[in-house]
Every structure is written in structure tokens, then in C-alpha cells.
Amino acid sequence: MTATPLLRVEDLHVSFSLRREGDWPWTPLRRLHAVNGVTFDLAEGEVLGIVGESGCGKSTLARALIQMVPATGRAIWEGKTDLLSLNRHAMLKYRADIQMVFQDPLASLNPRMTVGEIIAEPLRTHHPELDTSEVKLRVKELMDRVGLLPNQINRYPHEFSGGQCQRIGIARALVVGPKLVICDEPVSALDVSIQAQVINLLMELQRDLKLTLIFIAHDLSVVKHISNRVMVLYLGQMMEMAAGRELYGNSQHPYTQALLSAVPIPDPVREREKVVIPLTGDLPSPFSPPSGCVFRTRCARAQGICAEKVPVPLPGDHLVACHFPGPAVV
């Protein structure tokens, strides 16, 4: 790959300074490292899946890219601009290029606005020159595109089902013709039967509109079909990243293997024979992550060195942050 990536994220860190409930005003703030040195490239037209348990920093990573939380590191857009260095005003231009789809379909729509007004909002923000009828036509086109009836334009969010609300959210993200769409667990709140419909819609739109997607999920099975590459996060750090097929067929990191073993296999025979690698213990507190490899407290393969040295992935297409990478052993 020699072409300039659409987005190159280098050493992204996000931390929050928090005061515990009941702390005195003079107790020092505690730092929570939500995202800790994440680096990746995103080629144009690529779909990157980001997977990890809830609370591991997936949403924070996504929000850092569009300056919704303060972050350090670099996020180079089209090989030129560092998004993280832009001020509020300069960032505005890029907000049209990067759009988001949110987790809770109903909560992400203003209950007092009609569907038409909701979908039109990014358009009105970035193209104030358009007149009402042009906006309306564009909104109706998009409603049709995402599988909503355009004549429902004057209805309110509470008159739609969860899946339809998510379609509204997708239409809103696409109305300004973005290059990158970040989907933050877009199907986690939906029924399983509806999940597939929404994922298929996103795949279709991605192909037709040549979109670049970041698709976040807390479950490897959800991102399997849609992603070209998958990144596995744990406590704000990348554990493994590889092309989809490689990651699902030849995972090298014990954490990925544990996640994979939790994914149900549709074939009952293979499901019964499958080796389940349980994740023992609790997720460590993000305030005091383990030294060395953050996964070591739950890793069956952990050795002395794991507590001392942070594993650094070798460069390549299949990145593994582990001192003892290898196929799953039981």
C-alpha cells in the first residue's frame, strides 16, 4: 500500500482527570487513561472494525478523532492535516467529512424534531446556501436510500422502531456526503434480527458510496462480515490487528483467542467441539492498569517478562502486542 491513507492515527492518547465521589477538593485528581498509544492507518474505502469489551475505550477513541474529547498524538487526514491540532473553527470543515452513527438509535434523535429536520441538520450546518426545497429533496432521496419511506418526512422519532431510528441516524450521517463514517456500536442496541438488516444496509452503502468506515462493536461476530481489517482493543491499548480473515482464522494473541472462543458457531457439531477459553478474573481498573502487558492479569500464558516489559508489536500486516504470540493452546 503506497497510496496515502485517508487517516493515519499515531500514538493516540486520551486521559481523563477525575475526582472520585467523596474525595476532598484537595485530593489529587486521578488519571484515567482511556486510550493509550493507539496507532493505525485507514485506507480510503476500507472498513476497520474495532472490537473490545465495554469500557475499553472504543467510543473515546472515536470521539478523540473528531475532537469531542481532548487527545494527544496525531491524526493525519489525507496525509496533510493533523486533525488533533486544529482549533474549533478550522475543525468545522472536517466535521462534514467525518460523520458518526451512534449506539442508541432513539436517544441519538431529538424527540422534538421531525425526521426531516433531523436528517437535514448537517446539511443546514455545512451548506447554509441551500434553499428549503433543495434540502427537502436531498433528505427524501436519502430516506429512500436507507430504506425509509420518504413520505414519512414529517414524522417524529418516537413513531419509528429502533431499526428505523438507526436508519434515520445513518441517513443523517450520509446527508453531507462524508468520506469517513464512524459507527459506534450501531447495532448493539437492536434486536438480533434487525442487526443483520442494519449491517447489510451499511455494507451496501459503503460499497455504493465508496465510504471509509470505522465500525465499533463489543463482539467479534458483529464486525466479521463488514470489516476488511479488525483491531482488538483492551484497556485502551491495541492487542492485535490484522485483516479480517487472518484475525478470525489465525489469531496470535491470547485475548483475541478468548474473545473468538466466546463467539457462537452456527454449526452445532463444531460448536460442541469448540474449545472455550474462559476469560478469568475481572477487567482491571483503568485507573491503575497492570504494568507491562495490560492483559497479564487474565492471561494463561503470562510469564515474568509480561509484568516488566510492554510488548511492542513487530511491524507488518498482522500486528500482535504479545511476548508469546501463537495459535490458541489449551
Ligand X SMILES: Nc1ncnc2c1ncn2[C@@H]1O[C@H](COP(=O)(O)OP(=O)(O)O)[C@@H](O)[C@H]1O
Measured over the CA atoms of residue 83, residue 89, residue 93 and residue 99, the dihedral's sign is: positive
Based on its alpha-carbon atoms, the radius of gyration of the chain, rounded to whole angstroms, reads 21
Residues between 50 and 89 with contacts to Mg ion, criterion CB under 5 A: 59
Q: Does 86 bind another protein (CB under 8 A)?
A: no
Does 102 help bind another protein (rule: CB under 8 A)? yes
| Residue from 184, 274, 255 nearest 222 by CA | 184
Residues that bind ligand X (CB under 6 A): 16, 18, 32, 34, 52, 54-60, 286
- When binding is defined by CB under 6 A, the residue of 49, 186, 289, 311 that contacts ligand SF4 is 311
38 binds, among another protein, ligand SF4, ligand X, none (CB under 5 to 8 A by kind): none
Nearer to ligand SF4, 160 or 295 (CB): 295
Residue 55: name its binding partner from ligand SF4, Mg ion, ligand X, none (Cβ under 5 to 8 Å by kind): ligand X
- Residue 101: its H or E element: strand 98-101
Reading the block at residue 163, the C-alpha cell is 431499526
Q: Which amino acid is at 295?
A: F
Provide the residue type at 218 as one letter. H
Residue listed under C-alpha cell 447495532? 187
CB of 255 to Mg ion, least distance (A): 18
Q: Which of 55, 156, 162, 219 binds another protein (CB under 8 A)?
A: 156
Asked if residue 108 binds Mg ion (CB under 5 A), the reply is no
Asked whether position 111 contacts another protein by CB under 8 A, the answer is yes
The C-alpha cell 507491562 sits at 292
List, in order, residues 6 or more apart from 36 with CB less than 8 Å away: 13, 57, 235, 236, 237, 289
Binding site for Mg ion (CB under 5 A): 59
Binding site for ligand SF4 (CB under 6 A): 254, 293, 295-296, 299, 301-302, 306, 311, 322-324
